[in-house]
Structure 1
Amino acid sequence: MEQLVELDQEIFLFLNKLGNPSWDDFWNFITNKFASIPFYALLVFFLYRALGWKKTLLSLVLIAAVITCTDQLSNVFKHFFQRPRPCRQEGVMEYARFVAVRCGRYGYFSAHAASSAALVVFLGLILKDYWKHIFAVLIVWGLLVSYSRIYIGVHYPGDILTGWIFGIVIGFLFYRLFRLLLKKYFSPSAAKGKTA
């Protein structure tokens, strides 16, 4: 375990120190949750074009549930493991760059990474039949958001990797729920049941 922690710190320092002051504002912008609002709006537009307003509304409710689930699960892990963020660890930050607006207390695992990965899977699976490049676009966006957490000094790569693992699983489970709800409430047989 100690070797894994040391490796995590070494990879963090390598990735974190790739930055330079001219890029700090960009990565602080990318890591801000409000920066993705235009991207989310575009995705909602694609959902509406592909699914219509009723199924889009269902998608949005499940997206809110996905984000809540990943965020709260991350909080449970953070308070259970109580692993300090790199920006709070002596012996790490004197060699790293801290450019975040603030430094939270615990970092394992990253809610940003988990939410991003969950949305990559959930939205990618929904939209893949309507937009063939959707997974590539979503993965690039998710990786940018995830790397920004290392760049600004608030998460280790292990925090990000764990977040992605949980996010992928949660995104897939909510996609399955989405398909189940479509079948139950939006299929031709469901419509016949209402009129019977």
Structure 2
Amino acid sequence: MTWISEFDISVLRWIHHNRLEPLDDTLYFISFSTTFISIALLITLLFISIKNKSNELRSKFFQILIVLVFASVLSFTLKHSIIRERPFKIYSDITKLSEAGNSSFPSGHTAEAFALAMAITLLFPHKKFAVPIFLWAILVAYSRMALGVHYPFDILGGILLGTTISFVTIFSYNELKKWKSR
């Protein structure tokens, strides 16, 4: 076992074994909140943009939608290209406390949570939006490890994937918009 693998399982064991078990149901809810929060946010943004006839908000709606679609598709593609067994399948002391597919890397929930958090922060640059949404994304990431379904490096991969997708998508969208207006 390499030092990276040893570090990965050591950190996971510490998080998993030191979680507060009475909070397992809460962690489960947080873990699966990505879909609900993403959909609720998109519907709210679309409704407000239509109600206020705001092309700017409609543009932000589409950017967030594109970010979330890319995050889902790319994390799914990577998961099925890079086959990494889930920790609960390899280590008997890691208990599976949540549904999980076959492959572990990267964490799709974490990728989507951080993609959404970064997109919101880039499109609505104010601390009142950035702080709560990043705290939520961090809780999603933590919950995936505490529930025994991801290693820390799966989480790191999800964070890097989600934030990169947001940066690249929003930057490209704005550059394309500038290019079209010439």
Deviations 1:157-179 (A, max 9, x none): 10010111121111111121332
Counterpart selection for 2:115 from 96, 114, 118: 118
Rg larger for: 1
Moved over 6 A (4+): none
* Structure 2 partner of 1:144: 139
* Structure 1 partner of 2:124: 127
One-letter identity of the residue aligned with 1:13: R
SS across alignment from 2:127: coil
One-letter identity of the residue aligned with 1:72: V
One-letter identity of the residue aligned with 1:64: L
The number of residues matched between the two structures is 180
* Structure 2 partner of 1:29: 29
Q: Distance in 1 between matches of 2:71 and 2:38?
A: 18
Matches of residues 55-134 of structure 1 in structure 2 within 5 Å? 55-89=56-90, 92=91, 94-100=92-98, 102-128=99-125, 131-134=126-129
* Contact 1:119 1:171 (C-alpha < 8 Å) held by counterparts: yes
SS across alignment from 2:18: coil
Q: Distance in 2 between matches of 1:107 and 1:125?
A: 28
* Contact 1:150 1:156 (C-alpha < 8 Å) held by counterparts: yes
* Structure 1 partner of 2:160: 165
TM-score scaled by structure 2? 0.84
Identical counterparts, % of pairs: 25
Query: How big is the shift at 1:11?
Result: 0.5
Structure 2: 5+ residue runs without aligned partners? Answer: none
TM-score scaled by structure 1? 0.78
Q: Distance in 2 between matches of 1:81 and 1:38?
A: 28
Q: Distance in 2 between matches of 1:138 and 1:40?
A: 11
* CA distance 1:61–1:124, change in 2 (3 Å): same
Q: Distance in 2 between matches of 1:98 and 1:15?
A: 13
* CA distance 1:115–1:141, change in 2 (3 Å): same
Query: How big is the shift at 1:112?
Result: 1.3
SS across alignment from 2:41: helix
